[in-house]
Amino acid sequence: MKDSSALGRLPIDSPRPLVVFAWARLALCVLSLSLVAAVRLPFSGRLAVVVIFLVLPWCLGLVALASRSPAVALNPLIAVGDILLLLAIEVIAPETYGAVRFTALAFLAVHAHFQGGRIGLALAAFAVSTLVPAALLDPPNGMSDRLLGLFEPMFAAAALATGGLVGSFRTAESASRLRARELTRRTMRSESDIRRRVAEALHDGPVQELIGLDMVLAAAQREARREGASKTVELLDGARDAASRNVVAMRDEMVDLGPHGMDELSYETACERCIPTWQRRYGLQTRLRVEYEDLPSEAEGDLFRITQEAVVNAAKHGGATLVEIDLSTSGGRVELRVRDNGSGFEGSDPFASNEPGHIGLAAMRERTELLQGTLRIDSSSEGTTLSVSAPLPPSARSSRDRSR
């Protein structure tokens, strides 16, 4: 198993912590401006210039970045930028020495949590190597060399301990989570195999037997009509209705298990077979648009499972009446979007709950990671859009190259 913690940065389950941190950074910036305006210290003018023209645009940009591109907002260079801004504040207004040190420790703890032990320790070392020399070269007014000689080693030790310990704790936690996730993935693969076998068994066994029974009952019904046995005809009508209902019920169960023979079916065919069942069960109108290169059956199976879970969630938990499914390939990537007009998640984080519909979302996230892709959910009171973006599997790319 490839452990991403060995590479430094750790995976996150939801972009919400990044967004919260970005807003907290912005709130801290606004608070500092308010304090500068209220207290009116001798260095207030210099500090206000730095905050307004450097810190505030940085914070606003990170709020937008965390909301739109969480993966980019996780880049360690963002932490480097935070430290350099603190350095600029201290250089221009050395009197902010204490506030800069407190803020640096807080930021290092958060960044180490996001980045893991190795990068967290490296960021702490970078903060020490930039902030400590700045204080030694231009000491804060009124601070003796003896005090500075006490405070700076303490700050360096606290920064390195914060970056190293917080990051290592998170690394250990994520390693356990990654092992559990790998086990989940194997279970999902086994589950898919079992589902396929059960669907095949239903199709080749009970369903075929019921269809055969219906044919026998139809023949008996014709014979009874020829002999004028009206009561027998009526009983046979009831028996045929029961057989037909059971065939429909079993086929619906087969749809829930997954499309029979996914190795032979395409994603489009699998969805088209499910649309009548979704309409019958949930009263759901479904629009399907598919434009994609040939994909391995395993990838099509994962994409179908994600689609199926999204549609059922939209109907069961969102009360949707319309779902639009769009699958396409472009620029070496496969893009899946499932939009509905349901009630959405009402401002909650869809990945942070253990409610039934949310558990299904966790399974979708796992399947997306099996595709080495990313899952995004945009929800409002007007509906939800689920987006999956993943690189085209190598076999699909090689097939496309041969066709050219």
pLDDT given at position 301: 82
What is the mean pLDDT, run by run of 10 residues, along the chain of 404 residues?
43 78 95 87 87 94 91 91 95 91 95 90 95 89 85 94 89 75 72 69 69 77 78 79 75 61 70 85 90 80 89 87 92 91 69 51 83 86 90 61 38
3-state secondary structure the chain: CCCHHHHCCCCCCCCHHHHHHHHHHHHHHHHHHHHHHHHCCCCHHHHHHHHHHHHHHHHHHHHHHHHHCHHHHCCHHHHHHHHHHHHHHHHHCHHHHHHHHHHHHHHHHHHHHHHCHHHHHHHHHHHHHHHHHHHHHCCCCCCCHHHHHHHHHHHHHHHHHHHHHHHHHHHHHHHHHHHHHHHHHHHHHHHHHHHHHHHHHHHHHHHHHHHHHHHHHHHHHHHHHHHCCHHHHHHHHHHHHHHHHHHHHHHHHHHHHCCCCCCCCCHHHHHHHHHHHHHHHHCCEEEEEEECCCCCHHHHHHHHHHHHHHHHHHHHCCCCCEEEEEEEEECCEEEEEEEECCCCCCCCCCCCCCCHHHHHHHHHHHHHHHCCCEEEEEEECCEEEEEEEEECCHHHHHHHHHHC
pLDDT given at position 326: 95
pLDDT given at position 402: 35
pLDDT given at position 30: 94
pLDDT given at position 257: 62
The CATH architecture of the domain made up of 267-403 is 2-Layer Sandwich (3.30)
